[in-house]
């Protein structure tokens, strides 16, 4: 009987610790971050310029990326130390969709590292182009 109570308490404690950890990540990600560097791991041809951009994560699960004089927005969620985000930019003759599924491998009050997959889909008229890569993104808090 004592063993099962101890096991139950241990499971409850681990569950609370996991939820607290995820909540902390979700809270810590809020605010503005500057992308200081980006390493493409498996696709040298992946063509996207994000370095130097400012990423702002809001409490309502929206975020924006500001760079090259443009601001694009999207939505995100943090679950189990994983960031899932989607950006959609629509221009007069084309649209770009950028999806991220990345692990938050490090986050402090001053820096954050994301590692995982990025997928870019560009639609121009009737043509659609899609590419993906594995990447590491390194941020500093603004």
| Terminal-to-terminal C-alpha distance of the chain | 53
Instruction: Tell me the CA distances in angstroms from 43 to 25, 28, 118, 138, one per residue in order.
Output: 28, 30, 11, 18
Alpha helices (H) in the chain, listed in sequence order: 2-28
Tens-place pLDDT, residues 12-22: 333 333 333 44
For 103, other C-beta atoms within 10 Å of its C-beta total 15
Residue boundaries of the structural domains of the chain: 2-141
Mean per-residue pLDDT, 102-119: 95
Per-residue DSSP letter, 26: H
Q: Which residues partner with 89 through β-bridges?
A: 96
55 pLDDT above the threshold of 60: yes
37 pLDDT above the threshold of 80: yes
- Choosing among 3.40.47.10, 3.40.50.11540, 2.40.128.280, 3.40.50.2300, the CATH entry for 2-141 is 2.40.128.280
């Amino acid at each position: 009987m004592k063993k099962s109570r101890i096991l139950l308490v241990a499971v409850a404690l681990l569950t609370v610790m996991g939820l607290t950890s995820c909540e902390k990540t979700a809270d810590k990600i809020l605010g503005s971050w500057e992308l200081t560097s980006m390493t493409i791991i498996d696709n040298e041809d992946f063509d996207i310029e994000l370095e130097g951009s400012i990423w702002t994560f809001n409490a309502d699960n929206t975020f924006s990326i500001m760079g090259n004089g443009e601001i694009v927005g999207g939505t995100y969620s943090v679950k189990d130390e994983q960031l899932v985000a989607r950006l959609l930019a629509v221009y007069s003759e084309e649209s770009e969709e950028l999806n991220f599924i990345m692990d938050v491998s490090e986050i402090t009050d001053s820096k954050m590292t994301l590692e995982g997959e990025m997928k870019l889909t560009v639609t121009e008229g009737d043509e659609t182009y899609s590419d993906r890569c594995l990447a590491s993104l390194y941020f500093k808090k603004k």
